Amino acid sequence: MKYISILGSTGSIGTQTLDVVREQSDKITVTAISGNKNVELLKRQILEFNPELCCVMDDNNALKLKKILPSYVKTQIVSGMEGLIAVAEYEKSKTVVTAVSGMIGLKPTIAAIKKGKTIALANKETLVTGGNYIMDLSKKYKAPILPVDSEHSAIFQCLMANENKAINKILLTASGGPFRGKDEEDLKTVTVEDALKHPNWSMGKKITIDSATLMNKGLEVIEAKFLFDIEPEQIEVIVHPQSIVHSGVEFIDHSTIAQLGHPDMRIPIQFALFYPKRMENSYKSLSLSDIGSLTFEKPDLKTFKCLSLAFEALSAGGTMPAVLNASNETCVKLFLDKKISFLDIGNINEKVMLSHIPAKIDSIEAILEAEEWTKQTIKKLL
Ligand code: NDP
Ligand code: MG
């Protein structure tokens, strides 16, 4: 039996992780979960999965949950960052699925690493902001990081039985998002509703907007650099609108291996939970003849500047990726609240990066300072 904690069980990745648990219910037990606002769903999850611990980030929502739970429920309810860390560190859990959205995932993920847990990493922001500091912690505490992000899961699978030094380049695929083929003029008038219509994946709002700006691919470039310890020049982003080829690796002998599947996050989630074993499931089989054709094109780096900014952040190093991530997080929130336009996201990210002098990251405080500096800088810019 595998015992797991899920940080962010009410979100897109969290609920799909619970789908995997339903499918493999004789092999996985959920011991601890967390949510933020969706108290009704947390109640249903507690009644179905009977976890020992549940964190509701917001104190008032935690009280609400306690009130609506039947009195026979034994699940302990905690709240705040302390509660989130308790879910991450929960002794019985050997694997922690990090499915919260944004930099809020940093502290609990580090706490889980320090307890030697296996990290099923969906929360890419942790690796983007912490980079080598997180990878070093993972080695020091023997806490393996297994990617949940479909592209990184694909690369990880392509690399099985091969060493990183045999890599020529990584082929990181991108759907292109809802605005593929549009130019800057078209993007001047797009709305939040337009940006939330992803063609292939159903995801949380933050990552859906990141997919529309191609910042998601930028964050994934940074994630791949640290996860697989490769040079940014070895990462080639390719737009592949059908989202069937999830990514690939070209080796030094010019043989290329790619991983394919339907765009269904339950597949990489299940792979991370059971690695190195493959488990049977009832999901849809891939029929390439039904799909017919797969197409590939170069990304438009001029219109979608967030992707270029990610490469620039990597070459600047130090706190720059953390600053780009924090700036983007703030901008996406402002865009969702209809306070800035779609194109402002990339423009503000660029301005913030231009005014930042990167420092070394040797502690969590250095990352949090970079985040705070970014928030203050954006306030001055607006
Ligand atoms: P969602 O927005 O769907 O879910 C976010 C989860 O985090 C919810 O459980 C939410 O709780 C909780 N949460 C939100 N804000 C806070 C907070 N301040 N404190 C504590 N918990 C909070 O996101 P996704 O599932 O789409 O994404 C999660 C992570 O996985 C992201 O890092 C994303 O980049 C990554 N990822 C997602 C993919 C996808 O297909 N969705 C694919 C690859 C990576 P509540 O709902 O109760 O408010
Ligand atoms: Mg992805």
Q: Residue ranges of the domains in the chain?
A: 2-147, 151-265+298-381
Token reading at 240: 């592949």
Q: How far apart are the first and last CA of the chain?
A: 52
Structure tokens at 161: 């039985």
| Residue 269 CA, ligand 2 centroid: distance in Å | 12
Alpha helices per DSSP H over 296-381: 305-316, 320-336, 342-354, 364-381
Mutate to test the pocket of ligand 1, among 12, 129, 205, 223 (most ligand atoms within 8 A of CB): 12
Q: What is the pLDDT of residues 198-244, one digit of tens each?
A: 888 889 999 999 999 999 999 999 999 999 999 999 999 999 999 99
Nearest CA to 127 out of 219, 231, 28 is that of 219
For residue 166, what is the DSSP state?
Answer: G
Phi, psi of 5 (to 5 degrees): -105, 145
Residues flanking ligand 1, CB < 6 Å: 8-14, 35-38, 57, 99-101, 104, 122-125, 149, 201, 203-207, 265
Tell me which CATH code domain 151-265+298-381 carries: 1.10.1740.10
Question: Ligand 1 centroid vs 9 CA: distance in angstroms?
Answer: 8
Find the ligand nearest to 154 CA. Answer: 2
DSSP 363: S
Domain 2-147 class, CATH top level:
alpha beta
Pairing assessment for the beta strands 76-79 and 95-98 based on DSSP bridges: unpaired
Encode pLDDT of 155-208 as tens digits: 999 999 787 789 999 999 999 999 999 999 999 999 999 999 988 888 999 999
Residue 170 neighbours by CB under 8 Å, 6+ apart = 155, 224, 228, 230, 234, 235, 236, 247, 248, 249, 250
Q: Among the bound ligands, name the one nearest to the CA of residue 207.
A: 1
> What does pTM read for this prediction?
0.98
Q: Among the atoms of ligand 1, which is closest to the Cα of residue 38?
A: 47
